[in-house]
Chain A
Amino acid sequence: MTEPPMREPTFYVLAALLRGPLHGYAIMKRAEEQSGGRVKLATGTLYTALDRLTAEGQVQLVSEERVGGRVRRTYALTERGSAALRAEAVRMAEAAQLVIGQARETTAGPLARKLRTT
């Protein structure tokens, strides 16, 4: 059975954890940075995603501390999450290659010219 494609917020939540464990707000900030400001996670969306990813074993809780009287939990990518993220990245790269490769083969077109110069 093939996995359904990963949703964009999920992708950026997992990608945010690639460089190490983070707490909720840090995940939101890094996802926004890494997506060039496109993925702005709202708090509710973030925790729904974290619940699901934790249940699926892609993310795990690594530590709990108290900050200003409130619990702050830190989450990390698991091996399973890392593999899922990598599989999604490969899928996206293959999809991109399909278009970019064909654009290079054609002689005309602004996209091909732009791609050749970069």
Chain B
Amino acid sequence: MNQDGHRDAGRLERRARWLLRAYPAGYRAGRGDEIIGTLLEATPPGRDWPSSREAVSLVAAGLHARRAANLRQGLAASLRQTAVVGAAVYLAQLPTLAIGAAVWSAHRGHFLYLWSHEYQGAFFELAILAIALLAAAWRGRRELVAAAAVAALILAVIATVRTQEWDLMRVLAEFAGPAVPVFLVFARRTERPPARLLWLLLLPVAVASAESLANVGPALFAAPTALTTLLFPYASDLAVVTVIVAACWLATDVRPLAGLVLAFTVTRVMYGFVYLSSTGTAATAVISGWIAALVILAGALAWLLRRRTRACASTTS
């Protein structure tokens, strides 16, 4: 009986600690043990699950603590981090294109060809440099961002001169073009985006993978970029899940959703410039529409962030 009691308490504690993950890590480190101790005392012996009332209360209090922690940093820092997150999600499409190309080539049975051909090799090196650039931006190391950007430019110029193909320059301009200036202006070592937002960078990979599975590989360069495929029917399930997750997150932290909206909007604008203008469709209308949407969204987000910061200031005063 006594042994059973110990086992129940162990299980209860494990489950309670799992629920405690709703709190920010810093809070858990300081208060986690105390909260668990109180919860164990408050739970009748023999139970190995916290009551539903306790579970709901822990998760709600955890989200409340997260929200408070996010609001404490102020509007300017929030907007800077949002810009960096958005630019990072946008730039993450460059390595994603490389993955798409690899899937496409592997499907056609000439995977090794990717590395033997000089132009393809340069494209993959560019993708690796883009990952280095992302890492440097996320850590707030602006000097490393500049170094990686210069290296990528040199690589693209050399490959372009040798192969007389402009595609690599175009890819660099399309993806690094909007992202690098944002990193150089807004990235700060003292206010890095939290590590838990890193999964957002996998979003373009996830969308491109869904596309690859559904469509057996996007055509290299000719395919629309990863985030634009959110509009296509076969990626719609993923898009719905993403929107639900992002909407839930909005309840505690506005930065991830704002970053996604920025990345998506810039993608659409660039898509309008690069692809639609070359095919001679109504590019101007599309581009101006998306620029207007970008301005409206940016204004709405700034208003939302300001309102939340004010709400925070009034509760702490």
Contact = CB atoms under 8 A, between A and B. Distances in A.
Interface of A: 23-25, 28, 40, 42-48, 51, 55, 67-68, 70-73
B316 interface: yes
A48 B33 CA distance: 15
B37 A71 contact: yes
Interface of B: 31, 33-39, 41-42, 53-54, 56-62, 64-65, 316
Q: Which 5 A-B pairs have the closest CB atoms?
A: A44-B61, A42-B57, A44-B57, A24-B38, A25-B41
A67 B36 CA distance: 12
A73 B316 CA distance: 23
A24 B64 contact: no
A67 to B, nearest CB: 7
A15 B38 CA distance: 19
A42 B39 CA distance: 8
A68 B37 contact: yes
Nearest to B20: A44
A25 B42 contact: yes
A8 B316 CA distance: 20
A43 B54 contact: yes
A23 B53 CA distance: 21
Contact of A44 (B33, B37, B60, B316): B60
Given A25-B41, A43-B39, A70-B34, A55 B57 contact: no
Contacts of A72: 34, 37
B37 A48 contact: no
A28 B38 contact: yes
Given A42-B57, A43-B54, A44-B57, A70 B36 contact: yes
Given A43-B57, A44-B59, A71-B33, A25 B38 contact: yes
B34 to A, nearest CB: 5
A51 B64 CA distance: 11
B140 to A, nearest CB: 29
A55 B316 CA distance: 8
Contacts of A24: 34-35, 37-38
A44 B58 contact: yes
Contact of B42 (A43, A51, A70, A71): A43
Given A43-B35, A68-B37, A48 B64 contact: yes
A51 B30 CA distance: 12
Nearest to A67: B37
Contact of B37 (A40, A42, A45, A70): A70
A72 B36 CA distance: 10
A48 B36 contact: no
Contact of A43 (B33, B38, B64): B38
B224 to A, nearest CB: 45
B31 A47 contact: yes
A23 B40 CA distance: 14
A47 B37 contact: no
Contacts of B61: 44-45, 47-48
B34 A71 contact: yes
A51 B61 CA distance: 11
A51 B65 contact: yes
Contacts of B54: 42-44
Contact of B38 (A40, A46, A48, A55): A46
Contacts of B59: 44
Given A45-B61, A72-B37, 18 more contacts: A23-B38, A24-B37, A25-B37, A25-B41, A42-B53, A42-B56, A42-B57, A42-B58, A43-B54, A43-B58, A44-B35, A44-B56, A44-B58, A44-B59, A46-B38, A48-B64, A51-B65, A68-B37
